[in-house]
A and B are shown apart, each in its own frame.
Chain A
Amino acid sequence: MELRIEGLSFEYANRALFRGFDLRLGAGVTWLRGENGAGKTTLLKLAGGTLTPHAGSIRLDEMEIHAQPLAYRLQCYYCGGDTPQLPWLTVREVLDLHLALYPATDTALLNAELQAFHLTATLDQPVTTLSLGQHKKMQLSLALALPVRLLLIDEPFNGLDADAMAYLRQQLSAPERLARQCILLTSHLDPALPLAGTMQL
């Protein structure tokens, strides 16, 4: 399994963030480092398809993000953002929506993640009533349960309590996960995970 980014160019108004950027990542966890504004989140969004590059190609194995967008996105999940993207839904409805989008998801596994993060009691709450940590836990439950090959996690430890951090580290260190998933995460702190690589922007 390989994420291959070649000749990537992307710029915001008056500021080129990536110009001819190349990256190759294999299975396992890669820690993406860089100061604020270096482009970590932008790179995750480009790899996740939520932003369109001005030039270059992004492939996951043989799937090219623009040539086979549905197949690519079905194998990819971007876990990021501290505010709810669909603020009118409840936690249950957000989970339902993702299960409809990723039909191969193992419901038992998702349930186990929700239990581990102590989120089942919040299922009928609107997502806007969740705390920062609870919102992150909801996103992480999906990230850990969806059957994707590419996992893009933006600041996974933001707002998490100590137990949740320990559980997340345990899940992201599981050998069978590391063998089947390419995980790209950003963190300002050392993630304390077995890393396949570190990338400085």
Chain B
Amino acid sequence: MNNPPYSYLRFRTRMAHHALLRFAASLQSSLEIILLGFAPVLLGLIACIALPGLLAATQPWPQALALFAGQVLVASAPVWLLRKRLHPAEVLVWSRPLPIPPRQRWIADAAVAGMIVGPMTLAYAVSTAIWLYQWPDWLRPAAPRALMLTLLSLLLAWSFSTWILARRARMPAARKPGRARAVPQSYAPSAPTRMLLPYYWRQLFWHPFWRAENVVGIQQTLLLAGSLLSVAVWLWRPPLVPPALWGACAALSLMLLTDRGDKAVAEQIALLRPVAAGWPLRPERLFRCAMLFSLLPGLCVMACFALSTLGGAIKGYSHTVAIVWLCFAGLAQIAVVSLRKVSVRGRVGLVIGAIIILTAIGSELWN
């Protein structure tokens, strides 16, 4: 379709193109190191990406449905994760009052979703080709059905992704005011007059992460829960899954918890620095406290690990390995928070290196 330069479709696809380029640029340093360290794992994952859909064709319908739905959700996940970049909030606010016909909006959403689902389809095609080349026994009787299901799951993922973008763009319903609250008649101060540091921290480093569109609070809560859960399952040693895998999960979530928390605090400090420069306050002291507080969730996870291992609640592991793991985890987290002048690439290297070393140490815990 030949679109004039002013068409809505062209505007949306160009905006999405720029957003994806910016996203790719932001990932460059991380990707270099991830590819260097985990290229075979990533290749393996790409090879297996179409497996659930192919396998669904050989299963009874309840399992087949679950596998099929899972594949649709996985293929739609990138659009959901990138939705704020693909259609930024400020563009939504600006474009909602414009006289754009709903059909054009849908076409634009479908095209933008296709920009993500298209390359995903290519990965699925490569994976499917590998499985067809391998030609395992379970696939032979159900191959045509498996191919149809894979194709259908990708079409559904594209439709679902389009719907995700369309839903984001719709006009929000006017929110009715909640329970009638008494209108304040006068102002009475509620700030403390002593011990102001915790108060400043709460106002300037806690509230911003939980309010408006900021998701840092939820993200850190999930990472903390994930870390605690990984440590608990690792030490519990359930059958089927090797404990080293849970050890890797614990190392990954622990390092990400501190790294992401520290990054959010650093960004908040950069935002506050020009504002606080005019306040009768020593901001550097507050900023140092905020940086130290970002270590607390990681320390909490380490404390749980220490209590469970060194407290003697669990038997059959090496005390020495547990102590080495704790010492290295502590050092790695302090390094993440204190080495602020290290480059982005250096920081990614530090975090990934720490994850690998912690995983290696942790794999010896039960030996």
Q: A residues within 8 Å of B by Cβ?
A: 45, 48-52, 70, 73-74, 76, 78, 85-89, 92-93, 95-97, 99-103, 107, 110-111, 114-115, 120-121, 123-124, 126, 128
Contact = CB atoms under 8 A, between A and B. Distances in A.
B189 A87 contact: no
B117 to A, nearest CB: 35
Interface stretch (B86-94, B276-284, B342-350): B276-284
Interface in B221-279: 274-275, 277-279
20 contacts: A52-B277, A73-B278, A74-B280, A76-B278, A86-B203, A86-B208, A87-B212, A88-B208, A92-B187, A93-B203, A95-B187, A96-B191, A99-B189, A100-B193, A101-B279, A114-B187, A120-B184, A121-B183, A121-B184, A126-B212
B189 A96 contact: yes
A87 B212 CA distance: 9
Contact of B280 (A73, A86, A111): A73
Nearest to B273: A50
Given A88-B208, A120-B187, A49 B193 contact: no
Given A88-B208, A88-B212, A100-B192, A120 B275 contact: no
Contacts of B204: 86
Contact of B200 (A87, A100, A103): A100
Most A C-beta atoms less than 10 A away, residue of B185, B208, B275, B278? B278
A188 to B, nearest CB: 23
Interface in B155-208: 181, 183-193, 196, 199-200, 203-204, 207-208
Contacts of A123: 184, 187
B318 interface: no
Contact of B187 (A51, A74, A111): A111
A70 B189 contact: no
Secondary structure of the B side of the interface?
A: loop
A86 B183 CA distance: 23
B211 interface: yes
Contacts of B207: 88-89, 93
Nearest to A52: B277
Interface string B280-293: 11100000000000
B214 interface: yes
Nearest to B189: A99
A86 B275 contact: yes
Nearest first, the 6 closest Cβ-Cβ pairs linking A and B are A96-B191, A74-B280, A50-B278, A73-B280, A88-B208, A100-B191
A88 B214 contact: yes
Nearest to B278: A50
A175 B121 CA distance: 76
Given A50-B277, A78-B278, A100-B196, 6 more contacts: A48-B278, A49-B278, A74-B280, A92-B184, A97-B191, A100-B193
B285 to A, nearest CB: 11
Nearest to A124: B184
A88 B200 CA distance: 14
A114 to B, nearest CB: 5
A119 to B, nearest CB: 9
A74 B279 CA distance: 7
Given A88-B207, A121-B184, A99 B191 contact: yes
B172 to A, nearest CB: 15
B65 to A, nearest CB: 43
A53 to B, nearest CB: 13
A88 B191 CA distance: 17
A187 to B, nearest CB: 21
A43 to B, nearest CB: 14
B205 to A, nearest CB: 11
A200 B187 CA distance: 39
Nearest to B214: A88
Nearest to B209: A88
Nearest to B207: A88
Contact of A89 (B183, B184, B203, B214): B203
A86 B214 CA distance: 13
A91 to B, nearest CB: 9
Contacts of A92: 184, 187, 190
Contacts of B185: 120
Contacts of B214: 88
A85 B275 contact: yes
Contacts of B193: 100, 103
A88 B279 contact: no
Most A C-beta atoms less than 10 A away, residue of B204, B277, B281? B277
A11 B193 CA distance: 39
Nearest to B203: A97
Contacts of A115: 186
Most B C-beta atoms less than 10 A away, residue of A78, A100, A123, A126? A100
